[in-house]
Amino acid sequence: MVKRKFDKNQTKLGISTLDWNVPKDHISRFVGDFIEDVFPLLEIDEPKKKKRREPLPLDSMLKLLVYAKIQHIDRTSIIADMARYHDIFRFVCDDIRPSERSIQRYRREYGRYFEVLLQMTLKKAFDEGFTEFNHVAIDGTIKKAYNSNNNTISKKETKILVDYYEGRPVSPESLEKLHKPAQRILEKKDMSDEDKLELLYGIETQFTFTGQDRIPVNDIEARFMKGKKGNYMVAYNIQSAVDYDTKLICAINVTQSPTDHYELPAIAKKAIQNVNTKPKYISADTIYLNQISLSYLADEKIEGLIPTRKQSKEKIGKLNENPYHKDHFEYDYEQDAFKCPENQYLHFYAKYTEPHKDSKKPVKVKRIYNNYNACKNCNARTKCCASSQTHKTITEYGSELQKAMNHKMEKQKYKDEYAKRSSVEGPFGIFKEQFQIEKEVVVGMIKTEERINLDALAYNLIRLYNIKQEIENTTEDLEDFCESTSIKNQLQLTATIF
């Protein structure tokens, strides 16, 4: 065997285009075509620099940022290298060579357009007949903020530092007793006194706004929230609305609320705005079942699907084992009474209202059900009632709207529709496992929402691409079947494939 020795200095001529190494059905082509189609609709006035070189084309930068996110690349240094050396990245971004700092700046300055592009993916899905957004499911999760749990400052320490920088007398002992986060503010040399005072004013505002005892120093808009494992962390509450038919994300809303209780109206409004239509059904889990959510759904004439705590526990087989627990008392909607395990009815007795701790929230409605005579003569009273009780009392919270929702969710038709709600869980899992949103270095509620919208945009483009590929592959399979059948049986077969 003769081995040929190549001349490293040999010059070769050839013609190659940017897409020479990109497969025809590659997702990079789909992303590039999508951005090019919708970019004029964004109507962005790109600033023109004087005396300096022309700015990088924004449409090319958007393609690069979106495609990098699809490939789960978040570090700007890696994105810059890929744009310079990787064939597919060069094709996507039209062979521009942005620096690491340029990528950081474009992602920061034009992050507000990610939500608009997200809206465009939903419009494309609707225009191509993939969905009509009949059922939108809502859920929430928390995202750890870029701030340690220990890097927080108290109200007292904030007041000491404000007094110090405003020129009021502060004893050296009180400055020495400050904890490390407050000490770091005091000792920070790359920050002017005016900037430190502005930061402290912002922290004071957050104390007033959130009612927390301590505020994170690095990300003052984040809040302490309880995770699924029961641990508390500095985080943001991420609300998501997902279309059942396509599993596309319809909206993202980032809030400071530590729980999901009153977040349905805000995320539902965003979803309706983004899809440009009202869904027939909006489903959510039990934590959203309250007067604010129900009033919103009633006002918007949307069929809400929100089960009670008992209905949720029944679905997963976790009703209380005690046969005389409230879980085993059946509510009779016609009689407005609870039927106990001994077939006795506890009738409506009285209704009370309790003011909410937050004056902006509606009052709580409490309804009492009991039957003193039935309990007095019942043989199971000692099993059903505590030793200090003379009779059983059932307490129900909620207005007439909640009663109507409870009744509706007992019907099989709505149970079957609500079963579709599980579609909302998928995107959150992909966000955390594949897009690694917990590792994204973002500070502030607005910037966090912009970055999550970029994640959602990348996710939606992957979903649209996969849906189109499934349809095209299915069509090709049918065409091949028709052609092979026609040849095999020597028949002229005419078929229309949609």
Q: Please, are residues 255 and 266 in contact by the beta-carbon 8 Å criterion?
A: yes
Write the DSSP assignment of 233-297 as a string of letters.
Answer: EEEEEEEEEEETTT--EEEEEEE--SSSTT-HHHHHHHHHHHHTS--SEEE--GGG-SHHHHHHH
404 vs 428, residue with greater confidence: 404
216: burial class by Cβ within 10 Å (0-12, 13-18, 19+)?
buried
Alpha helices in 394-444 (DSSP H): 400-408, 412-418, 425-433
- Topology (CATH) of 112-147+226-305+409-498: Nucleotidyltransferase; domain 5 (3.30.420)
366 pLDDT band, cuts 50/70/90, is: confident
Digit-coded pLDDT (tens) for 97-118: 999 999 999 999 999 999 999 9
Across 9-16, average pLDDT = 67
Give mean pLDDT, residues 153-173.
Answer: 91
User: Residue 91 in contact with residue 48, Cβ under 8 Å?
Assistant: no
Residue 437: per-residue pLDDT: 85
Q: How confident is the model at residue 497 (pLDDT cuts 50, 70, 90)?
A: very low
Residue ranges per structural domain of the chain: 27-110, 112-147+226-305+409-498, 152-217, 309-403
Q: pLDDT (tens digit, 9 = 90+) per residue, 425-473? A: 788 888 888 888 888 889 999 999 999 999 999 999 999 999 988 877 6
Is the pLDDT assigned to residue 13 strictly greater than 70?
Answer: no
The answer to whether residue 88 scores a pLDDT higher than 90 is yes
Q: Note the pLDDT tens digit of each residue in 227-250.
A: 877 888 999 999 999 999 999 999
Share of residues in the chain with pLDDT > 70 (%): 90
Is the pLDDT assigned to residue 496 strictly greater than 50? no
Q: Which residues contact 99 (CB under 8 A, 6 or more apart)?
A: 80
Supply the mean pLDDT for the chain. 86
The residue among 405, 228, 185, 374 whose CA lies nearest residue 304 is 405
Task: Tell which residue, 319, 309, 310, 311, has the closest CA to residue 288.
Answer: 309
